[in-house]
Amino acid sequence: AVAEAIRDLARAIDTRMRTTVSPASLLRRVRARLTGVSGAELMLRDALPFRVTEVLLMHRESGLLLQGVTSEPEANSDADVVSGMLTAIRDFVQDAFGRGESAAQLDEIQYGTQRILIEATRHATLAVVVDGIEPAGFRELMRRRLIEFENAEVDQLASYDGDASRFLAVEPKLRELMAEMPQSTEAGAEGLTRGQRRIIALLGAALLLCVL
């Protein structure tokens, strides 16, 4: 039943693509051809829901919350409790399944339709609560933000005394992770090689000549 529902959705999207002529649809078809997937599959991926509901930055050694932002402040989420829970789960997984490998780290927790994506550096841990499937490049963005924070605050993190107010400046960077995912579009553009971009430009020029 699930497979049939997915096929029906793919057919509906394919029909919409074939009956719709616009610059966006033409660009999507060219992009699908270059990436080796069908236009329907690409539209299906673009249509998949994705939303970041909460971002938590924690001190790795103590598990204390450094900063946290949420898309639903009215929900009054107790970020400190969530931070402690994640630290306890991480320690349990490390003790139960680590097998002495210090490099192995918990990188994801799933509950229902929501998932917690986790990235860690030497002194800090970043946990992002998401609903749906993250687009390409989102994990890389998480790592980049966390490494930038670690490098900028390494001395403060190494001697952290529990005062989280000194890390207020990192909040705008955390909120960038909650944006409406312009990263997915950027990642798709960066994924094209120089030759592929040249082909797109030539196809555009040929289309313009045909119109003229």
pLDDT at 12 over 80: no
In this structure, is the dihedral angle defined by the CA atoms of residues 60, 62, 68 and 73, taken in order, positive or negative? positive
**Torsion angle of the four alpha carbons 151, 154, 157, 158, in this order, in degrees rounded to the nearest 10:** 150
Nearest Cα to Cα of residue 119 among 51, 53, 60, 78: 60
pLDDT score for 142: 92
pLDDT score for 28: 63
pLDDT at 94 over 80: no
Average pLDDT over residues 183-203: 57
pTM exceeds cut of 0.75: no
Could you tell me if 149 and 124 are in contact, meaning their C-beta atoms sit under 8 angstroms apart? yes
pLDDT score for 184: 40
Residue-wise pLDDT for 111-126, tens only, equals 777 889 999 999 999 9
Report the C-alpha gap between 31 and 67 in whole angstroms.
39
pLDDT at 150 over 90: yes
